[in-house]
Amino acid sequence: MSKELSKIASELLTKIRDKGPLVWNFSNFVSMDIAANALLSIGASPAMAHAKEEAKDFTEICKAISGALTINIGTFDSYWQECALEAAKYANENNVPWVLDPVGAGASGFRNKNVEELIKFKPTILRGNGSEIMAVAGLSGGGKGVDSTSTSNDALDAAMSIAKKNKIIVAVTGATDYVTDGKLTYSIESGHEVMTKITATGCALSCLIGAAIAVGEDKLLSTASIIGIYGLAGEMASKVSRGPGSLRMNLLDNLYNISTNDIINNLKIKNV
């Protein structure tokens, strides 16, 4: 089964490279650079546009050419909140797939309010670390911020609960990654610990998920697949890197150079 899933993941990568989907990102100040470059490296086309006045236009573009939206709350202020809500509303109304990254959920009332309001517009995918997902589910006593104090295993029940309640797909990332719709769950074993020493690697992943759901019909498996591909690129990069600085460079290079055979032969993804 794992080999069959790995082959499907390799086909997703080919689709992304062939179609070059537009991914419209409300990314945060910290992650804009690595997120845009990760998308370019894998073959997608990033748009980092946050103006409220452009929300309708970009929604129409995404709808016309089968693009996707990603929203990351990492460095929101009140204006960005208004802009993101406008974008999420238009995406929901026009069936544009979109990803919500609840960065630092549980750390402040403002962040929690952002998530509560955005999730009403039914993100296709909610992606966060263990602490963030538990905070969104209301199961934690407050997060530490962007660092995860809860593991992905701790948060799996919370992820399934959110998915069932909101009828969305939830991805919780950590040492083992999980993607669930509340009924079917995939686990992925990939990545390298040093990736946690590079700021915004998780944010970049959320944007890559946008590329995956733009071209993949099976949103659940497409999300699991791109998480695995990204983690595998990180593993490959770690073998030729001396630390976080060189890993960042090599991660982008491996997203660009990773082959379908690399994925088929090395990706560890399964139905749990």
Kindly report the CATH number assigned to the domain that includes residue 263: 3.40.1190.20
Is the per-residue pLDDT at 154 higher than 90?
A: no
Q: Which domain holds residue 79?
A: 2-271
Specify the pLDDT at position 143: 42
pLDDT digits (tens, 9 = 90+) for 67-120: 999 999 999 999 999 999 999 999 999 999 999 999 999 999 999 999 999 999
* Lowest mean pLDDT segment, chosen from 25-34, 124-133, 140-149, 175-184: 140-149
Please check the confidence at residue 160 and state whether its pLDDT lies above 90. Answer: yes
Q: How many domains does the chain have?
A: 1
pLDDT at residue 142 tops 50:
no
d(CA 107, CA 84): 19
pTM assigned to the model: 0.95
Taking the C-alpha atoms of residue 74 and residue 193, their distance in angstroms, rounded to an integer, is: 22
What digits encode the pLDDT tens for the residues 127-137? Answer: 999 999 999 99
Mean pLDDT score of the chain, rounded to an integer?
94
pLDDT in tens, 167-214: 999 999 999 999 999 999 999 999 999 999 999 999 999 999 999 999
DSSP bridge pairs for 71: 26, 100
Under 8 Å between Cβ of 214 and 68: yes
State the pLDDT confidence band at 12, using cuts at 50, 70 and 90: very high
